[in-house]
Amino acid sequence: MESRALPRSLRVIVTAYLLAAGLCGQQSEAEALPPAPTDLRAYLESVNDRTEALKAVSYRLRIWDRQPDVGYLPIVAEVISEKVPGRLPRLKVDAHAADDAGRWHNMVVHDGETFDQLDWNTRRVVRTPTEFLSRRLQRIRPQLWLAEFTLEDPFDDEVQAASLRHEGRQEVAGVPCEVVLVEYRQRERARWWFGVRDGLPRRVERLRRSSVRVYEISDLRPMVVIPPGTFEYTLPPGFDVRDVRRPDAPAHKRIPAMLEVGREAPRFELTASNGQTVSRRDLRGSVVVLHFWNAWSPPASAEVPKFRTLQQRWGAEGVAFYGVSCYEDPGKDAGAAFQRLQPGYPLLLAGDDLAGRCRVPGVPAWLVIDPAGRVEDCGIGPADEARIERAIRAGLAER
């Protein structure tokens, strides 16, 4: 029986077992290659399952632009990543300029508690608590790791793409690969190379209007056991450590609250995932609950069931619930990813500006607006349902 006939969760478990046992992609070079895929969507479902089954992986990543005048150096990065259920992945990336390691050198380390970015040019470490990561991750350009190795359903956008085209086979770092051109529903395009034998990504060209960003993998190794200390590092001599401001820091370093209770909430007009335009003006007279979310954050997605329950409890009272998509990866179909969580309330798209004006440093975060358009309460991190309900009751009492 083909593994595609199994339930998806069982397919992933079976694939993980085969990868751990060393049975996937380990055929002798003398063996004939399997036939080229004919059903590309089914093939990409298999790619999705195989990539998701890798709980930890190490690889060398080379990044460059095909148009050399766009400003980024060719970069080489040594990457180790580990998925952590319900949380952001643990990560260690040591990256430097491909032609001269002394010209540019950065390291990124996320141990599950803090995200450290080391810069050898400035001799500085910027340290960010995990709960405030969204903006820090968005500032790393180009991204120094292949995000697909850290995500659930890593190739779902490709499976759901508007069109797919098989472009034959080519080798990447000595590995025979299937080449698939993907045109996404957002009209973004990418060309992917997947290992013929193991179905794992080896290269991607992200096709942009003015440039082509290339990510090429070599020395790809699934990791079954993570050695102690993998996501640690020794602080280089002379480096200055700068923590971003956080709630438990001294007063002069404390991260500001999202918004002061009682002040006017920021005005907004955004398009929802159902195509409707939603504005704060139209919602005046209602209690509004906003849940700030993005597709790549497991902690943010883990909050959706809480807001679904709150919506079921308070929706009949006229309380309006909306997700707000912010700090998304370019080309990600946030609306589709949100609907797969069965939220029961709409998602407002392209909410970066609103999140910024609400001082949202990362997701998850939430905001309750009273009928007069003022901030009733707000918070960063996991939602306190009892606190949100108190804010809803207070808002309803003001109608």
Distance set, CA 359 to CA 257, 370, 375, 379 (Å): 8, 18, 13, 10
Q: CA Rg, the chain, in Å? A: 23
How many CA within 13 A on the CB side of residue 226? 18
Structural contact between residues 240 and 125, judged by C-beta atoms closer than 8 angstroms: yes
Please say whether the dihedral angle defined by the alpha carbons of residues 21, 26, 28 and 32, taken in this order, is positive or negative.
positive
Domain with CATH 3.40.30.10 in the chain: 256-397
Q: How many residues are given for the chain?
A: 399
On the question of pLDDT at 314 being above 50, the answer is yes
Return the CATH class of domain 3-243. mainly beta
What is the structure's pLDDT at 327?
83
pLDDT in tens, 343-386: 999 999 999 999 989 988 778 899 999 999 999 999 988 889 99
Residue 156 class from Cβ within 10 Å (0-12 exposed, 13-18 middle, 19+ buried)? buried
Return the CATH class of domain 256-397. alpha beta
Structural contact between residues 196 and 168, judged by C-beta atoms closer than 8 angstroms: no
Determine the average pLDDT of the residues in 113-137: 79
What is the structure's pLDDT at 56?
96
Mapped onto helix, strand or coil, the DSSP state of residue 354 is helix
Q: What is the residue-averaged pLDDT of the chain? A: 85
Of 18 and 251, the structure prediction assigns the larger pLDDT to: 18
Mapped onto helix, strand or coil, the DSSP state of residue 188 is coil
CA distance 70 to 68: 6
What is the structure's pLDDT at 252?
38
pLDDT in tens, 241-274: 887 655 444 443 344 568 888 999 999 999 999 8
What is the structure's pLDDT at 42?
96
* pTM for the whole structure: 0.66
Domain with CATH 2.50.20.10 in the chain: 3-243
Distance separating the N- and C-terminal Cα atoms of the chain: 61
What is the structure's pLDDT at 23?
42
